[in-house]
Amino acid sequence: MNALSLYQLVAFGLLGVGIFGLLARRSLVGMLISVELMLNGAGLAVVAAGQLTPMPDALAQSTTLFVMGLAAAESTLVLAIVYVVRGRFGSASADAVSELKG
C-alpha cells in the first residue's frame, strides 16, 4: 500500500465518521461538527493527491485553502441559523424543526 492510499484511507475515515455523525446527531450544533469533519477529510485528500502525484502542488494547496474559507463562511451562517432556530422553536435540536406532518 503506497503513501497516497494511506492518506486517502484517513480522509475516507473522516468522511465516514462525519456522515455517521450527521445522521446520528440530534442537535444542530453536533451536525455542524460532523460537517466540519467531512470538510477536513476532503482537504486532506486533495492536498495528499496534489503532493504525491504529478499534478501541480500549488493548485491542490490553494484548493484546500479555498475549502477552508468556505468552511469559515459556512460555520458563520450556520451559527446565525441555529441562533434563529433556537429563538423561534425554543430548542436547537433537529427534531424541533419539523412543523410539517410526515
Partner 1 sequence: MKEFVVNASFALYALITLGGAVWAVTAESLVRALLGLTISLMGVAALYVLIAAPFVALMQILIYVGAVVVLIFFAIMLTRAQAEAEEARPGDRGRLLRSGAVGLAVAGLLAAACLKHGPALVGTAAEVSPAQLGETFLGQYLLGFEVISVVLFAAMAGAVLLAFERRKGA
CB of 25 to partner 1, least distance (A): 7
> What is the footprint of partner 1 within residues 11-50 (CB under 8 A)?
12-30, 32-34, 36-37, 40, 43-44, 47-49
- Residue 52 or 101 with smaller CB distance to partner 1: 52
CB of 35 to partner 1, least distance (A): 10
CB atoms within 10 A of CB 79: 13
Asked if 3 interacts with partner 1 (CB under 8 A), we say yes
- Whether 34 contacts 79, CB under 8 Å: no
C-alpha cell at 40: 477536513
- List of long-range contacts for 61-67, beta carbons under 8 Å, 24+ apart: 67/39, 67/42, 67/43
CB of 52 to partner 1, least distance (A): 5
Asked if 97 interacts with partner 1 (CB under 8 A), we say no
